[in-house]
Amino acid sequence: MKDPIPLSIDDVVASLDRFDAILDARSPSEHGDDHLPGSSSAPVLDDSERAEVGTLHAQVGAFAARRRGAALVSRNIGRLLETALADKPPDWQPLVYCWRGGNRSGSLATVLARVGWRTSVLVGGYREFRRRVIADLAAWPSGLRFVVVAGRTGSAKSRILQALAAQGRQVLDLEAIGRHRGSVLGGLPDAPQPSQKRFESELWDAMRRFDPARPVFVESESKRVGRVHIPDALMRAIRGSSVVRIDMPLDARARFLVDDYAHFVADPASLFAQLDCLVELHGRELIAHWKSLADAGAWEAFVAALLQGHYDPAYDRSMQRNFSALDACEPVALGDFDPASIEGAAARVAAVGEPPAGA
């Protein structure tokens, strides 16, 4: 008769990519807030059932709550075996965890192990993983060599990072992980931002794969990417790193942004609601002028005016204040944002950060 194999957080981190599945026995809302990388939701109690058991514990007592919980857990594990886990082969090897590595993961892991699957359970559960994420995000950045890709808004920095990644370079794409473009107009229409915990877990998952001997390319960012904030140690390391500046003409940046923010062109009302957030900074008259350009369909003129009146001055002030290596940075000229131009700019950025052997 098999029993679950208890694993410490160190054991789990060392073998995180080797499990056939990682099952989160917590409720769906807990999983949605944050979870181990690659894990799927396999709740032994859903949110309403968890609330029911908690209320029973408070109003009636521990025994009644355990009895009710056991009945619900048994049904839910049975349902998992008949649905999500019905096609798993005999040599399938899952990892199971819950909040503290207690009853919920223990119940699921015990049943899976008794079925015959080699089942591991994370001792200390998600709580231990969260502690590990916090500790590693405080320690890792100082051991990495970052190369900051800077440039005014609309300089195609994100596309250059994507090209660098496609070329095999190490890239930390903070805007992709945060699912936000980092400005008042940076929200993505079809991708809500993650919670702060989820953002940090995804940062951790990206950073654990980096080779410290090679540079990590990252975009110049403020402390916040939308509503999530970059951990302090990572922000300090990025701001103290070497910088490569992308120089792109205003007209090309305007055309790029019209192309890249097509959802605002298709939904001016949403755009105008965001512009209203800038009234305190620029006054109603200037905001009304910007809106009139958009209303007239003069999108490139609208973007150019917004860049010159808001984004460029704010970006220049932020860069001068926060990036000590800015004055000594390498410029990379980018005339357009067609694929060949982006590939060429990425290659020049890579050469600055990771020059060829013997160079």
Active site residues: 98
Non-local CB neighbours of 47 within 8 Å, separated by 6+ positions: 27, 28, 29
Residue ranges in the chain assigned as alpha helix (H): 9-14, 28-33, 47-59, 62-82, 103-115, 125-139, 157-166, 174-178, 196-207, 232-239, 250-260, 262-266, 268-275, 279-295, 299-306, 312-322, 339-353
CA distance 211 to 213: 5
* Spatial contact of 90 and 117, defined as CB atoms under 8 Å apart: yes
Please name the helix (run of DSSP H) or strand (run of DSSP E) that holds residue 122, with its range, or none: strand 120-122
Closest CA to 300 of 245, 251, 335, 233: 251
CA distance 357 to 214: 13
CA distance 81 to 79: 5
* Spatial contact of 45 and 80, defined as CB atoms under 8 Å apart: no
Please name the helix (run of DSSP H) or strand (run of DSSP E) that holds residue 229, with its range, or none: strand 228-229
* Dihedral sign, Cα of residue 265, residue 266, residue 272, residue 274: negative
* Spatial contact of 293 and 302, defined as CB atoms under 8 Å apart: yes
Cα dihedral: 174, 177, 182, 188 (round 10): 150
Tokens 């919670």, residue located: 195
Non-local CB neighbours of 15 within 8 Å, separated by 6+ positions: 7
Q: In whole angstroms, how far apart are CA 299 and each of 250, 251, 262, 309?
A: 13, 11, 10, 15
